[in-house]
Amino acid sequence: MKAYAFDYVRAKTLDEALSLLERAGDGGKLIAGGQSLVPALNLRLLGPKLLIDIAHLSELRGITNDESSIHLGAGTRHVELATSPLIGQHLPLLQTAIRHVAHAAIRNRGTLGGNLAHADPASELPACMIALEAVMHVVGPKGERHIDAADFFKGLYETALEADEILVRIAIARCPADTRFHFNELARRAGDYAMAGLAMVMHGTPGHGLRIRPVFFGIGDRPVLASQAARCLEQATHMMDALADAQQALLHDLQPQDDLQADPETRMQLAQVLLKRGLADLMAQGRG
């Protein structure tokens, strides 16, 4: 199938992209790496009148840091995140996760902003953003606003972005020095979207102010912070002693969906297995 006819403009500045988007109204659509959008156009799932190309905007590029945070331009490509020494040093979770995102050719063009705005529930990076308590910097005709990652993903391919807004930057506060990261997913084949996945960030000591954020993806219509399971683990003196209770708490935290890949019971079991493996990995990092 071929896409419906559309006009195309390569925006030269962020302001130009914003005004084109506002003027186009419902008929306008941003394109960054095109790795999710172009298949949707070719399948005629979408029929925008105008594509606004933001792939070359300098305002969306770059990985920088300051005293308090790491800043990721929304136009940063997956491959750039995967090879950045700064990300390797401060946010290794993202580099582990990106190895599971699609294939090399897609990672060469796909962008962080496009991935997050697309909000596929089985996508790896949205879960990482919630685990890392990232803040989305968004601009629109009314100015700039900041949205916590936990409030950004609203449902199946749905975010808190308004149609006339652009995600420009993602800010992630520097993690404490004792932070441990874990990422794992279960997919039928390497490069496929996950049937279930888990991104976890933990710091502190069990029984003494431990803080843990287990975020599951590929289970429901959006990534979910398993807050009841986290509470069980945070209150335990020995984290592995609380494993069974935390696995049980997932029954309340998660609402697994039924689809061609797996039924809800299978997904719940996969989530419980992922939690067990993830905690074992976090504990092993402490011994290492």
Ligand X SMILES: Cc1cc2nc3c(=O)[nH]c(=O)nc-3n(C[C@H](O)[C@H](O)[C@H](O)COP(=O)(O)OP(=O)(O)OC[C@H]3O[C@@H](n4cnc5c(N)ncnc54)[C@H](O)[C@@H]3O)c2cc1C
| Site for ligand X, rule CB under 6 A | 29-37, 39, 54, 74, 101-102, 106, 110-111, 113-115, 117-118, 120, 123-125, 161, 166-167, 193
What is the pairing mode between strands 143-148 and 28-31?
Answer: unpaired
| Comparison of 14 and 283: residue with beta carbon closer to ligand X | 14
Q: In angstroms, what is the minimal distance from the CB of 20 to ligand X?
A: 13
When the beta carbons of 32 and 147 are compared against ligand X, the nearer one is 32
The edge-to-edge listing of strands for the beta sheet with 224-225 is 180-186, 196-205, 208-217, 224-225
How far is the C-alpha of 97 from the C-alpha of 124, rounded, in Å? 6
Q: What is the DSSP letter of 75?
A: T
In the block, residue with structure tokens 């149609």: 163
Of residues 34 and 264, the one with the C-beta less far from ligand X? 34
Q: How far is the CB of 214 from ligand X (least distance, A)?
A: 19
Shortest distance in whole angstroms from residue 49 CB to ligand X? 14
Q: CB of residue 51 vs ligand X: minimum separation in angstroms?
A: 9
Report the nearest approach of ligand X to the CB of residue 276 (Å).
23
In angstroms, the CA 206 to CA 228 distance is 16
> In the complex with ligand X, which residue's Cβ is closer, 127 or 212?
127
Q: 232-255 burial string, b = 16+ CB within 10 Å, else e?
A: bbbebeebeebbeebbebbeebbe
Helix (H, G, I), strand (E, B) or coil at 148: strand
For residue 131, the SS3 value is helix
User: 90 or 107: whose CB is closer to ligand X?
Assistant: 107
